[in-house]
Amino acid sequence: MIKNYFKTAWRNLVRNKVYSLINILGLSIGMAACILILLWVQNQLSHDRFHKNLDRIYIVNNRDIGDGGKFAWSWTPNIMGPTLKKDYPEVADAVRYVEGNNFLFTVGEKKMVPSGAFADPGFLSVFSFPLISGDAKNALAEVSNIVLTEKLARSLFGADDPLGKIVKIDSNAHFKVTGVLKNLPDNTAFDFAYLLPWSYKDKLGWTDSAWGNNGLNTYVMLKPGTSQATFDQKINKITTNHLPGDPLYKNREVFTQPFKDQWLYSKQENGRYIGGRIDMVRMFTAIATLILIIACINFMNLSTARSEKRAKEVGIRKVVGAQKKGLIFQFIGESVLLSGIAFLFALAIVIIFLPGFSTLVDQQLHLPFTDPLFWMSAVTFILVSGLLAGSYPAFYLSAFNPVKVLKGFFKSSTAAVNPRKVLVVIQFTFAVLLIISTFIVMQQIKHAQARDNGYNAQHLVFVKMNGAIENNYSLIRNELINRGAVVSVTKSMSPITERYSDSWNFSWTGSTEEDKKTDFVRMASDADFVKTLGTKLVMGRDIDIFKYPSDSNAILLNETAAKMMHLKDPLNAILKADDIEWRVVGVVKDFIYQSPYEKVQQLIVFGPKSWFNTMHFKLNPANTTRQNLDIVAAIFKQFNPEYPFDYKFVDAEYARKFKEEQKTGTMAALFAGLTIFISCLGLFALSTYMAETRIKEIGVRKVLGASIFNITSLLSGSFLKLVIISCVVASPIAWFVMHNWLKNYQYRISIGWPVFAGTALLVMVIALVTISFQSVKAALSNPVKALRSE
């Protein structure tokens, strides 16, 4: 019997090539999109899930009260880890970890500046990064040990066994390779090419035991059976207790977050980690489901529309003894078969587009062919889509009354509300929803991109001040300017596109005790901050240590800071930090150094008495960039010969701030495009079908004098009405969803009506074009032929 069903299904498929193609194609595209998204979702959900101790690892966080509520952050003091380990018996291990090392590595003639991290010796035991050689327990035990990843080891030592070999770091320290790690998997938040022992950080004098200095991550591994809640309660006041009486720390709380949540829940609201990547994961899971539903709706619609052709078969089968159950089984089986075929096509599509999609989402995604779970999910997927797509037609078809069908009494429903129309409306509602959302995401990105960032990034370059740059700074500066490659230079604490440092506990003329809690972002400059970066002075002047020797204590404020400090006359105001007095020499217009979606926070640019680690310079616009960079490279080679010359363009760095949103935008656009495409495929098939079934009616109407326009609008009108209903339904939903999304951004657009009107128009035009193919064709057909075929 199954064979008989199969035969009927297959012959039906082959006999109706266009329908079958549209049916399978629509379903495959929907499935492929769904699979791609689910692969990404799976990747996100698998982040750092491979650690054996996962359920016992927690990251230590701080929480405090700041302007407008509580806020949390995961940077902790150096002393936190050792204290937790020493004083709390439930802690099996506590490890400190910080990335961002830019040491110069030398092996023989080879020099490179890989990026790495410092970690406590327990790091490799707490986390499960597999070692190719060496021993996890002792690899970071000695101050002169180093652990490399396979890739770095290969580029330093080639094919030789790296274990026991020596790496020179900067100009003086020698390290013995005590471990080689497998390259880090793609789905980990950790990012390092090597690990240096924490003791080396101590040795460099880069650590302290201040409870108020937060600059690293602390991970604790609790003993089995310890509850997070109890532990959190115990450590809640640990910082406050170590700084008794200090009013600045009286509200400080310490709490843990399960490490397995760190990737997905990194966004905090009022001091709690409640969202982050998980929002995207949820959103795109929803989109994946929607796309699959839309594709399945196509399938349902086409199958039921075609049911008139299958009606006779149903009637006959019933007459010769089929029962409803058997027919339902037959039609569901048929749709599962189709969905199986569609799945194979979908796999092919996925294989073709996976590399591109991986680039788009910036994660290396794979189809896990060897994983039995994958095949089980695949079967489930086929069954679910088959059932989803086939159940309605199955019940619909099997319910036909054989007498009516065989008598030709059966007619497709022309009722005002029939399921097929409802399904089309649902489909287009989803499509319109996605399109509106895409437009709004893009508008928001454009809006932020168009925002005046307050400085001039053109020809602006920065380099990290490593090796001998600091010592030779004046020489380099003079040479750069004298040789005409650069028009101006400024040293700073961080690239202008980033914030490295912030601080509080400042006082100034007229400040209150409460003001000490205000957190200021810190930057620094020796001279020409305004001139080089192209920021705008609102009052006063640039810091210039070369002209005014007393400027080593000078500061610039941004406008927000000046406002925040309630300074009537900011110029020459005195700011006290610790015991140093700083004098305001100028106020600059706010510029964006962080997120273009947020308002600019109060910022202080400190004079040369602070520290520097970045050098900005403006290339000479009179020359080509190539000429400039050649000269610049030569100068750095001369004064900092040990280090490779590494530079970045500020405009490129600034553009990276839009990457996340652009990714969202591109993905949304992609999937919105797919939904409308799939929906239109369905519409096309439905209109083809409708034109076919109404061919006699059209013939009669034409004989009676209807014009081509009459006929076309008769046929298109009914579909267009459905599309309009969809727009009306989708618009408020889209408004609601996107209104909430925009709340994530302080600097945002307001949603206006044009985006709704524009989308409605767009979708209507697309739908009309799709339908009119068939309706015009039907309208042009020769009525005599149509009538004779009866």
Partner 1 sequence: MIKITNLEKIYRTEEVETVALNDLSFEVRDGEFVAVMGPSGCGKSTLLNILGLLDDPDAGSFLFNGVEVAKFNERKRADMRKKNIGFVFQSFNLIDELTVFENVELPLMYAGVKKSERKARVDEVLEKVQIMHRRNHFPQQLSGGQQQRVAVARAVVNKPKLILADEPTGNLDSSNGNEVMQMLTDLNEAGTTIVMVTHSEHDARYSHRIIRMLDGHTVTENILV
Ligand X SMILES: Nc1ncnc2c1ncn2[C@@H]1O[C@H](COP(=O)(O)OP(=O)(O)OP(=O)(O)O)[C@@H](O)[C@H]1O
Q: Which does 509 bind (CB under 5 to 8 A by kind): ligand X, partner 1, none?
A: none
CA distances from 70 to 48, 73, 245, 272 (A): 28, 10, 21, 8
- Identify which of residues 413 and 638 has a Cβ nearer to ligand X in the complex: 413
Helices within 407-558 (DSSP H only):
419-450, 473-482, 529-533
Q: Which does 320 bind (CB under 5 to 8 A by kind): partner 1, ligand X, none?
A: partner 1
Q: Which does 409 bind (CB under 5 to 8 A by kind): partner 1, ligand X, none?
A: ligand X
130 CB-contact burial (10 Å; exposed 0-12 / middle 13-18 / buried 19+): exposed
Q: Rule CB under 6 A: say whether 411 interacts with ligand X.
A: no
Q: Scanning residues 255 to 314, which ones bind ligand X (CB under 6 A)?
A: none
Task: Identify how many contiguous H helices and E strands the chain contains and give both numbers.
Answer: 25, 28
Q: Which does 8 bind (CB under 5 to 8 A by kind): partner 1, ligand X, none?
A: partner 1
Residue of minimal CB distance from ligand X? 409
Q: Rule CB under 8 A: say whether 320 interacts with partner 1.
A: yes
Contacts of 649 (CB under 8 A, 6+ apart): 457, 460, 461
Q: Could you tell me the smallest distance in angstroms from the CB atom of residue 401 to ligand X?
A: 9
Pick the binder of partner 1 from 21, 210, 403, 780 (CB under 8 A): 403
Identity of the amino acid at 235: I
Q: Which does 321 bind (CB under 5 to 8 A by kind): ligand X, partner 1, none?
A: partner 1
Q: Could you tell me the smallest distance in angstroms from the CB atom of residue 409 to ligand X?
A: 5
Q: What is the DSSP letter of 544?
A: B
Identity of the amino acid at 499: R
Q: Rule CB under 8 A: say whether 171 interacts with partner 1.
A: no
- Identify which of residues 10 and 409 has a Cβ nearer to ligand X in the complex: 409
Helices within 461-507 (DSSP H only):
473-482
Strands (E) located in 481-588: 486-492, 501-503, 506-508, 520-524, 537-540, 554-558, 574-577, 580-588
Q: Scanning residues 252 to 271, which ones bind partner 1 (CB under 8 A)?
A: none
- Identify which of residues 13 and 485 has a Cβ nearer to partner 1 in the complex: 13
Q: Rule CB under 8 A: say whether 315 interacts with partner 1.
A: yes
Contacts of 77 (CB under 8 A, 6+ apart): 209, 210, 211, 212, 213, 214, 215, 216, 239
Q: Which does 402 bind (CB under 5 to 8 A by kind): partner 1, ligand X, none?
A: partner 1
Can you tell me which residue has the tokens 């690892």?
Answer: 57
Torsion of CA 486, 490, 493, 496, to 10 degrees: -60
- Identify which of residues 404 and 785 has a Cβ nearer to ligand X in the complex: 404
- Identify which of residues 409 and 546 has a Cβ nearer to ligand X in the complex: 409
Dist. CA 475–CA 483, nearest whole Å: 12
Q: Which does 286 bind (CB under 5 to 8 A by kind): partner 1, ligand X, none?
A: none
Which of these segments, 207-215, 399-407, 464-472, 518-526, binds partner 1 (CB under 8 A)?
Answer: 399-407
* C-beta separation of 85 from 93 below 8 A: yes
Pick the binder of partner 1 from 107, 131, 406, 538 (CB under 8 A): 406
Dist. CA 256–CA 661, nearest whole Å: 29
CA 38 to chain CA centroid, Å, is: 15
Count of residues of this chain found to bind partner 1 when the rule CB under 8 A is applied: 25
Interstrand relation of 76-77 and 460-464 (parallel, antiparallel or unpaired): unpaired
- Identify which of residues 315 and 540 has a Cβ nearer to ligand X in the complex: 315
Pick the binder of ligand X from 206, 375, 409, 773 (CB under 6 A): 409
Which of these segments, 119-127, 309-317, 527-535, 559-567, binds partner 1 (CB under 8 A)?
Answer: 309-317
Q: Which does 769 bind (CB under 5 to 8 A by kind): partner 1, ligand X, none?
A: none
Q: Could you tell me the smallest distance in angstroms from the CB atom of residue 402 to ligand X?
A: 12
Which of these segments, 193-201, 254-262, 308-316, 434-442, binds partner 1 (CB under 8 A)?
Answer: 308-316
Interstrand relation of 131-134 and 173-181 (parallel, antiparallel or unpaired): antiparallel
Q: For the CA atoms of the chain, what is the radius of gyration?
A: 34
Q: Rule CB under 8 A: say whether 413 interacts with partner 1.
A: no
Return the bridge partners of 615, or none. Answer: 463, 491
Using CB under 8 A, list all residues that contact partner 1. 1, 4, 7-8, 11-12, 15, 312-313, 315-324, 326, 401-403, 406-407
Using CB under 6 A, list all residues that contact ligand X. 404, 409
